[in-house]
Structure 1
Amino acid sequence: MPIVVDIDVMLARRKMPVGVLAERVGITPANLSVLKNGRARAVRFSTLAALCEVLDCQPGDLLRWEPDAADSDGTEPAA
């Protein structure tokens, strides 16, 4: 998937354990793990806003787009 989740980067910068972030955001550590490992299929804006508030960052600090190999060779990705 071309969306990369950088929650681990922000956690390291803030020196915050995953469990503390999950508690402050109001989600389970398991759901935070799914999100930070890039396995989530969607994220609610309210969750993203809470992550940004707790980590004192912008959404772009947590999510970024990287083209797939198929995207960078000029071919259209399969639907």
Structure 2
Amino acid sequence: MAIVIDIDVMLARRKMTVADFADAIGISPANVAVLKNGRAKAVRFTTLDAICRVLDCQPGDLLRWVPGDETDDQGSRLR
């Protein structure tokens, strides 16, 4: 996917553990791992709001677009 989520960078800057972060935003550590590892297909705005509030950052501090292999959900290359 061409969208990269830099939660691990922000957690390191804040010296916050995944467990503490997950508890603060109200999702499971497993779901934080899904976000960190780039396996998330979507993020709710309420979750993004909680992430930005806890990490004291803007959405653009967390999300970035990187050109690359763009495929659809079934793995077919997009034109």
TM-score, normalisation: structure 1: 0.87
**Deviation (angstroms), 1:69:** 5.4
RMSD of aligned Cα (Å): 1.4
- Structure 2: 5+ residue stretches without partners: 71-76
- Structure 1: 5+ residue stretches without partners: 71-76
- Deviations along 1:13-53, one digit per CA (max 9) or x if unpaired, are 00000100000000000011101110000000000000000
| CA distance in 2 between partners of 1:34 and 1:69 (Å) | 20
Q: Which runs of structure 1 show a deviation greater than 6 angstroms over 4 or more consecutive aligned residues?
A: none
Q: Compare the two structures and name the one with the higher helix fraction.
A: 1
**Deviation (angstroms), 1:63:** 0.6
1:59 counterpart letter in structure 2: P
Q: Where does residue 24 of structure 1 map in the other structure?
A: 24
Q: Where does residue 74 of structure 1 map in the other structure?
A: none
**Aligned counterparts, 1:1-79, within 5 A:** 1-68=1-68, 78=78
1:38 counterpart letter in structure 2: G
